[in-house]
Chain A
Amino acid sequence: MSELTLAQSLNGALATALESDERVVLLGEDIGRTGGVFRITDGLRDKYGENRVFDTPVAESGIVGAALGMAIAGMRPVAELQFLGFSYPAYDQIINHVARIRNRSNHRFTAPLVIRVPFGGGIGAAEHHSESTEAIYAHIPGLKVVVPSTPSDARGLLLAAIEDPDPVLFLEPIRLYRAVKEDVPELYYTTEIGPLRVEREGNDITLVSWGAMMKETRAAASRLEESGASVEVLDVRTLSPIDADGIVRSATKTGRVVVVHEAPRTGGMGAEVAAIVQERALYSLTAPVRRVTGWDTVFPLKRSEGHYLPNADRIVRVAQQTLET
C-alpha cells in the first residue's frame, strides 16, 4: 500500500499490466522517450523495452487502427491519445472498426484493446485540450467507456479494461491527475467495469457525477450536509454500460437527483441519467431531475473557464432548489 496520485496509480497499473501479461504493449505519441504529455507512461520504455512501449508518428487514426490489428492478432494493446479533442481523427477507426469488428465477424475477430485518453478542462489549456465529449462515445454500441476519479479506481479499472475482451475507451480526468492522493494497494486487482460507486450514503438527495466533477460534487455535498441535508453521492465510473440499476436504486431512496457533468448540456450523459430515473423511478421522485453542466458552447479558453465549468457553488444552488421542491 502506498499513497499515490491518480497519475502515479495509472503508471503503476500500466507497469503491472506489462509485467503480468506479455501480450500487453503500449503505443502512442511521445509515450516512450518522454513518458507522454502527462507523464503517465514515465519510465516504462526504459524498464520494459522498445518492443513493449512504442513512440508513434503523429497519426491518431493510425495509432488506433494499428492497435486494432494487433488486438485482432491476439495482443492486448493500450493506445494513448494525447487529448480527447485529438481523438476525432481516430473517430472513424473507433466507431467503424474497433467497436464493430466483433459484430462484423460474428464474434470471430475481437478488439481487446484500451484507448486511454486524458480529458476535461480546468487547466487553462489551448483549444481542443479540454474537451469532455464522452457522450458521443457512450452512444456507440460495442465500446465501453470508463472514467475513474480516484487513484484506487484508476488502478482497478485500468487493469480491468486491459483484461476486458472488448474495447474500452478509458477517460482520465486531467484535472485530477495530481490533485488527489490515496492509498493504493500494490497487488494486482481489478474493479468491475459497470457498477457505480456509492461514494457517500445519504437519504435526501442524490448527486450523480464522474471524472473531474467528482471533486466539485464532493465539495458541494459537504456544504449541503453542513446545512443539514443527507446527501448521497454516486461516482458513475462507467458511462457505458452505465449502471442504470444503481442510479435507480439511489433515486428511489432519496427521491431527488441532480446530475453534474462538465460536458455541454444538450445530448450529454446527464440526459441519459434523467431518462433512466424518470422511466424507472418517477413515482419515487419528489422533485424534477436537474442538471448542472457545462454550457452549450465550445469549451472556452483560460480566461473564461470559470464561466463554463460547474463548481460547488452552482451544484449547491441547484441542489438546494431541488431539496426545497
Chain B
Amino acid sequence: MLTLISPDGTVPDRLPFTLEEMRRLYAEMVEARTYDHKCMAMQRQGRLATYAPFEGQEAAQIGAAAALRSDDWVAATYRDAALMWRAGYPWSLLVAGRTGDERGGQAPEGVNVLPPSITVGGHMIHAVGLAWAEALNGTGRVALTSFGDGATSEGDFHEAMNFAAVYNTPTVFLCQNNGFAISYPRAEQTRSQSIAMKADAYGMPGLLVDGNDVAAVLDVVGSAVGRARNGEGPTLIEAVTYRLGPHTTADDPGRYRDEDEAVGWRERDPLERVRLLLERAGGWSPEWQAELETRASDTIEEAVAMAEALPPPTAEEMLVRMYEQPTTLIEAQLGEIGQ
C-alpha cells in the first residue's frame, strides 16, 4: 500500500508535490470538512433530508479529483460531495440536492460531473460508457468513477470492470474502502484479501493506496489518469480509508462497530497529517488555520444561503423534467395540475 505522508506528518521517501500544492490540498480538505460538519448540523435542524457524511475520507476524494482535468467525467456516489466539488460541482447545488430539490442535480454547463447515484453500484458502468465514447471521439477525456467497498459486491461492478478492460476504456475505478457496507465489515463482504487484487482477474492494474494520504491518492490516481489518457486503459484503485461518522444521519454505528476502532482511525486523520507536514515545513500557522476555517465557513454559509433561497419547485417542473418536450400524456396531466 502506497503511503507518501505518514500519520505523524513525516515523509519517509520523497514527496512529488510542492509546499504550495500541499497547502492548497490542505485548504481544500478543510473546506470539505466544513461542508460535511455543516450538513450534519443542518440535518439535525431538519433543514436537510438524510445526509451521508464523508468525514475521514477527505484525502481520498480531494486527492482523486485533483488528478483530473476540468473537462473529465466523474460518476460518483451520495458520499462523494468533496470529490464532486473538487471536480467543479458547486457546494450550493450539493446542498440543494440534500434539501430534496432536483435542481441540485444539475451540474453547471462545462462541469462533467453526474449527479450522484443513490442505488449502490449502478453508476460504475456509466463511467465506462462515458470513457468509451470519449475514446471513440478522440477527445483525451477520461472518466473517474468512485464507489465504496460495498459496491464491489454488486454484479454491476463485475460488468463495469469487464467492459472497461475489454474495450480498453479510459476509466479510473476509485474504490474508497471505508471499512463498512453500512454495517457489514469489509472482511466479511469478500474473501479476497484486497479489493485491488480483483483487478488482476479483469486484466487491468489494481493498486492499493493509503486513502488517508492525500498526496499518495493524488499520485496514484494521477498516474492512472495519465495511463487512461494515453490509451493504456482502465485502472482499479483501492483507497483504504475509514468513515469516521455514521453511514447516514439515519444510522447508529454503535450497533456494529467498536468506538475504539474509530478512535484509532482519528489518529490517522487525513487532515492532521498534512497539517503536521506543513507545520514542519513552515507552511502552517495557527493564524493561517483560523483564516482557512473562517473562509471555508463563509463559503459554505453562502452556498447554504443560495440553496435555501431557491424558490419552491412548482408542480409543473416535476413533469416537465421527464422528456425534452412534454408528451401528450404529460401535457394532459399538466392541464389537470393547472386546474
> Interface on A for B, CB 8 Å cutoff?
25, 51, 54, 56-57, 59, 61-62, 65-75, 77, 92-93, 96-97, 101-110, 141-142, 144, 165-166, 194, 240-245
* Most chain A C-beta atoms within 10 Å of own C-beta, residue among B119, B129, B163: B129
A248 to B117, CA, bound (A): 40
The number of residues on chain B lying at the interface, defined by a beta carbon within 8 Å of a beta carbon of chain A, is: 44
Residues of B within 8 A of A54 (CB): 167
Residues of B within 8 A of A141 (CB): 322
Residues of B within 8 A of A241 (CB): 327-330
A324 to B159, CA, bound (A): 57
Spot the interface stretch: B2-10, B11-19, B27-35, B131-139.
Answer: B131-139
In chain B between 155 and 169, which residues have their CB closer than 8 angstroms to a CB of chain A? 155-156, 159-160, 162-163, 166-167
Q: Kindly identify which residue among B122, B159, B323, B328 contacts A59, using a CB–CB cutoff of 8 Å.
A: B159
Known contacts A102-B323, A106-B103, A194-B327; A62 and B115 CB within 8 A of each other: no
Known contacts A69-B128, A70-B133, A166-B324; A62 and B162 CB within 8 A of each other: yes
> By the criterion CB–CB under 8 Å, are B102 and A106 in contact?
yes
Measured CB to CB, the nearest residue on chain B to A106 is: B106
Q: Kindly identify which residue among B75, B136, B323, B328 contacts A25, using a CB–CB cutoff of 8 Å.
A: B136
Residues of A within 8 A of B160 (CB): 62, 65
> Interface on B for A, CB 8 Å cutoff?
73, 75, 102-103, 105-107, 109, 114-115, 117, 119, 122-123, 125-134, 136-137, 143, 155-156, 159-160, 162-163, 166-167, 321-324, 327-330, 332
Residues of A within 8 A of B115 (CB): 104-105, 109
Residues of B within 8 A of A65 (CB): 122, 125-126, 128-129, 156, 159-160
Residues of A within 8 A of B159 (CB): 57, 59, 61-62, 65
Can you list 13 contacts pairing A with B, beta carbon distance less than 8 Å? A54-B167, A57-B159, A62-B160, A65-B128, A65-B159, A65-B160, A72-B129, A73-B129, A74-B133, A107-B106, A141-B322, A241-B327, A244-B332
Residues of B within 8 A of A57 (CB): 159, 162-163, 166
A67 to B160, CA, bound (A): 12
A258 to B335, CA, bound (A): 29
> By the criterion CB–CB under 8 Å, are A142 and B322 in contact?
yes
